[in-house]
Amino acid sequence: MKWARNGVVALVVNGEAIPMVHIRIKDAGFTDLYIISMGVDKMFIRSLSDYDVLKTMEEAYEFFNHFLCNYV
């Protein structure tokens, strides 16, 4: 339960493929984010360290909004 609470579920927009989104996130320097596919347009994002994923995504809002929405 604690493990899941440290992550964020987000929807992929514009029909982007999750593997491509993963590559874009890594290429942008977010190397400690772990991404798990939850289907065609949904992904679970978790930090490999103790960083708050939601805070990280909010600080880089413009970057993540190009291909993700509805962070929960």
Predicted structure pTM score: 0.84
Q: Where are the domains of the chain?
A: 2-69
Whether the predicted pLDDT of 40 surpasses 80: yes
Q: Are 47 and 34 in contact (CB under 8 A)?
A: yes
Whether the predicted pLDDT of 44 surpasses 80: yes
Model pLDDT for residues 20-33, shown as the tens digit of each residue:
999 999 999 999 99
Whether the predicted pLDDT of 49 surpasses 90: no
Looking at domain 2-69, its CATH architecture is 2-Layer Sandwich (3.30)
